[in-house]
Copies of this chain bind each other. A is one copy, B any other.
């Protein structure tokens, strides 16, 4: 069965900005989904901010293997309930891929636990991405580096936790560097942040970028059954301890009591 993938797009600039609309007439999310669907192992659909529950009701997330997220102008309009719902699905095993300005998406800040800030410049300068982890599954089929002739600059320091792996580091014409491809595991969910993708440039039409995204979907996919109650903190009664023990000393809790939160 192909990997059930949802590309979430904020879909704001595509509607308001002529330049963005010309580059992505169907929206960035459709451009990305179309690219993913050229891979027979991926089945991608889209969801947007404007749909009810932002297109991410619980039932749909439960059947989503990997979620890609692009947002920029309207981070603040994303409902906290949906953010929490997505976070729980990630912990339960759903893959999550954050794109470009999604570094400031609520969901990314929620699961990173850090400011996720950086420096930036919108000058259409050249970006060159270098592979720092050779033969990493996310870099499959790519040479040691590839270029995007026009991109927004993001500069270090990038306010994220130390990643599990650094897969790409970017060079910028104006003199900055950035850790552009970072992997994390949060609960049972595989998380990948990928830097390029400013909306006024045709980044998601780039073949190398599309290769990264397809690879990342495969990498992020955890085929294990979704964890049912991802926040459970079950009490293990003395009577059912794996090694026989006798209760000793004073107790705070009574039998059958829930723990404190």
* Chain B nearest CB, measured from A195 CB (Å): 13
* Listed A/B pairs (12) with beta-carbon separation below 8 Å: A104-B260, A122-B253, A123-B245, A124-B247, A124-B250, A134-B227, A137-B224, A161-B161, A164-B164, A175-B241, A177-B177, A200-B249
* A144 contact set on B, CB distance < 8 A: 156-157
Chain A binding surface, main DSSP class: loop
Interface residues on A, range: 35 or more
* Chain B nearest CB, measured from A33 CB (Å): 23
Q: Cβ of A222 < 8 Å from any Cβ of B?
A: yes
Q: Cβ of A216 < 8 Å from any Cβ of B?
A: no
Report how many copies the assembly holds: 4
Contact across chains for B187 and A159 when beta carbons are under 8 A apart: yes
Interfacial residues of chain A within 159-218, with CB under 8 A of chain B in the complex? 159, 161-162, 164-166, 169-177, 179, 184-188, 198-201
Which of B75, B200, B241 interacts with A261 by CB under 8 Å? B75
Q: Nearest residue in B to A13 (C-beta to C-beta)?
A: B252
Contact across chains for B230 and A115 when beta carbons are under 8 A apart: yes
Q: Cβ of A236 < 8 Å from any Cβ of B?
A: yes
Contact with B along A215-229 (1 / 0, CB 8 A): 000000011110100
Q: Nearest residue in B to A139 (C-beta to C-beta)?
A: B224
Contact with B along A126-164 (1 / 0, CB 8 A): 001011111111001000110100100101111101101
Which of B93, B185, B227, B234 interacts with A161 by CB under 8 Å? B185
Contact across chains for B113 and A113 when beta carbons are under 8 A apart: yes
A137 vs B246: C-alpha distance when bound (angstroms): 36
A150 vs B170: C-alpha distance when bound (angstroms): 21
